[in-house]
Amino acid sequence: MFDSLTDKLGVVFKKLRGHGRITEGNINDALREVRLALLEADVHFKVVKEFLDRVKEKALGQEVLNSVTPAQQFIKIVFDELVTTLGGDTAELNFAGRTPIVFMLVGLQGTGKTTQSAKLALYLRNKKRKPCLVSLDVYRPAAYEQLKRLASQIAVPFFEYSQPAKPIDIARSSIVFAEKSGCDTIIFDTAGRLQIDEALMEELKMLRSSIVMNEVLLVVDAMTGQEALHVAERFNKDVGLTGLILTKLDGDARGGAALSAKTVTGVPIKFAGMGEKLNAFEVFHPDRVASRILGMGDVVSLVEKAQDVIDKKQAEDWQKKLMKGQFSLEDFKEQFKYMKKLGSLESIMGFLPGMNKLKNEVDWDKMEKEFKRMEAIINSMTLKERRNPDILNGSRKRRIALGSGTNVQEVNSLLKNYFQAKKVFNQIKLKGAKNVLRGIGGIFK
């Protein structure tokens, strides 16, 4: 979402680095370009003004003008103020109080409340909590069935009831159900409308006032831009929000809503929906998002994602095999599987520092197809061949090519890549694999 903004800010910073020293004149020039970049990204004009005022005040201080590396100092100021604009510290969920605690998701129809409810439940389940999903949308017939199906997919209890029923009665009965089922958290998926109306607000206000809630989270579509902020302001005024869940942050919109939300509404962004899969749901870290916007990557989040998808024992086994020079095609195939769980190659690159420009130059679809072809070739091998590819002669390669829908040249290409990777791993072993492999096995220690 922030690619365009990242590119434009990168140009501004490159110009500053080209100056022998920083002056009030070239700082003003830089701020003018930053202002245009933010406005083009659909950031609220008041947010832009406040942001630039803070940056200018600090940038024109002696700290920057007298610095040995003034351009880097200026970038650091921009980073710090971006973090402040995005909300400062990471906003944690409130788990205080008597269980079961209650989280309620609200928002307009079509923002993805039902899916985000399931994503939140999966996130909590992975954090060793015991959530329960409850549908309070009694107007959209498919809502109940959709949430029930999602609850089954993620193995989370779902409160079933006979229809028709009133949302307030369902909510109260679900608390009793949760207590009996041993659930410590209830997630209410509420009804929405195509636009804000009084009937919706009255229903939500009744729920809010009748039941003690730890969190009231508004689900907003980041791709709707400034309209998302108007919706957030109205919901906060009428219902009282504790946080926002921004969806479609992986889209190609300009990203202004994400940058403006905290300042305009006063409500922190707590989560970001990053895709359609139920595990594509991240805690919103202002400092990490600011780092991505400035093209510095976000290695911490990538490591956390790796910890979630890579089995600890598997990582340790890989480390031992690499140290012994025993990395096989079977292990090569396993790496493809774990990479898929991390996300697309393009999204992974977005976490790495300085890779933003490369993202736009690589044919990611072609690269993804290449990985699928390599995986198909390995799947066409016998277990013996995967573990000892040295036995692959001409006839075996022809059989593998036929079975994978490829040709012998492509089989040879895969083997070449594998043997090159194995050679690198052997060199790593000689230099001390324990240090180099910290990103695989070491991240779990």
Q: What is the pLDDT of residue 279?
A: 83
Sequential pLDDT tens for the chain (445 residues): 566 777 777 777 777 776 666 677 878 888 888 888 888 888 888 888 888 888 888 877 665 556 556 677 778 888 888 888 888 888 899 999 889 999 999 988 878 889 999 999 999 998 999 999 999 988 887 888 999 999 999 999 999 998 788 999 999 999 999 999 999 999 999 988 777 788 888 889 999 999 999 999 999 887 777 778 888 888 898 888 999 998 877 655 566 777 888 888 888 999 988 777 888 888 888 888 888 777 765 455 555 555 555 666 666 666 666 666 666 787 777 776 666 666 665 566 555 555 555 555 666 677 778 878 888 999 899 988 988 888 999 999 999 999 999 999 999 988 888 887 777 666 655 554 444 444 434 433 3
CA distance 171 to 137: 11
Same domain, 330 and 216: no
Q: 115 in a domain, yes or no?
A: yes
Give the model's pLDDT for residue 276.
Answer: 79
Instruction: Tell me whether residue 68 is in a domain.
Output: yes
Residues 278 and 366 in one domain: no
Domain that holds residue 284: 101-296
Residues 6+ apart with CB under 8 A from 5: 37, 38, 40, 41, 254, 255, 293
Query: Does residue 242 sit in the same domain as residue 385?
Result: no
Claim to verify: residue 238 and residue 347 sit in the same structural domain: no
Q: List all residues 6 or more positions away from 136 whose beta carbon is below 8 Å from its beta carbon.
A: 167, 170, 171, 188, 189, 190, 191, 207
262 and 372: one domain?
Answer: no
Question: Same structural domain for residues 234 and 363?
Answer: no
Predicted local confidence at residue 106, as pLDDT:
92
pTM above 0.85, yes or no: no
Q: Say whether both 77 and 108 belong to one domain.
A: no
What are phi and psi for residue 297, nearest 5 degrees? 75, -175
Residue ending a domain, among 279, 296, 313, is: 296
Q: Which CATH number goes with the domain that contains 36?
A: 1.20.120.140
In CATH, what number is assigned to the domain containing residue 231? 3.40.50.300
> Of 267, 273, 206, which is closest to residue 234 (Cα–Cα)?
267
Measured between alpha carbons, how far is 257 from 398 in angstroms, rounded to an integer? 55
| 63 and 107 share one domain | no
CATH (domain of 376):
1.10.260.30
DSSP sequence for 348-378: HHTTSTT-HHHHTTS-HHHHHHHHHHHHHHH
* pLDDT in the model for residue 110: 79
* 45 and 171 share one domain: no
Q: Are residues 161 and 288 in the same domain?
A: yes
326 domain residue, yes or no: yes
Q: Are residues 137 and 266 in the same domain?
A: yes
pLDDT of residue 443: 35
Query: Considering 272, 296, 320, which residue would you say is the last residue of a domain?
Result: 296
Is 59 inside any structural domain?
yes
For residue 95, tell me if it sits in a domain: no
Of the candidates 296, 315, 331, which is a domain's last residue? 296
Residue 439: what pLDDT? 43
Residue 94: inside a domain: no
Q: How many domains does the chain have?
A: 3
Residue 29 is assigned to a structural domain of this protein: yes
- 132 in a structural domain: yes
Same domain for 236 and 254, yes or no, is yes
